[in-house]
Amino acid sequence: MKIEEFIIQIEDQFDDVERGKIKPQSIIKEAFEWNSINALIIIALIKTEYDVDIDADDLRKAKSIQDLYNVIMQRIP
């Protein structure tokens, strides 16, 4: 998986995010409206698409989209 593909999947989850707005260096909590529901959407996306478990602590530690992508890549079986 390339980070560009991951970003497109995230953008597709949120109606208020236009395609191309999110970049690898984008701060997660600034890229789209950040709340607990959206955090659960991201967690479910990652579990469904990549079979990788992440939790709220992982999301807190990952500042950027690139950070989150790196966590996923480290955990892909």
In the structure, how many helices (H) and strands (E) does the chain have?
A: 5, 0
Query: Domain of 52?
Result: 3-75
Residue 47's φ and ψ, nearest 5 degrees, are -65, -45
Q: How many domains does the chain have?
A: 1
- CATH number of the CATH domain containing 14: 1.10.1200.10
User: SS3 for 14?
Assistant: coil
pLDDT in tens, 51-67: 999 999 999 999 999 99
pLDDT confidence of residue 15: 86
30: number of Cβ within 10 Å: 11
Q: What is the pTM of this model?
A: 0.90
Residue 26 per-residue DSSP state = S
pLDDT in tens, 2-49: 999 999 999 999 888 889 999 999 999 888 888 999 999 999 999 999
Residue 53's φ and ψ, nearest 5 degrees, are -90, 125
Residue 39's φ and ψ, nearest 5 degrees, are -65, -45
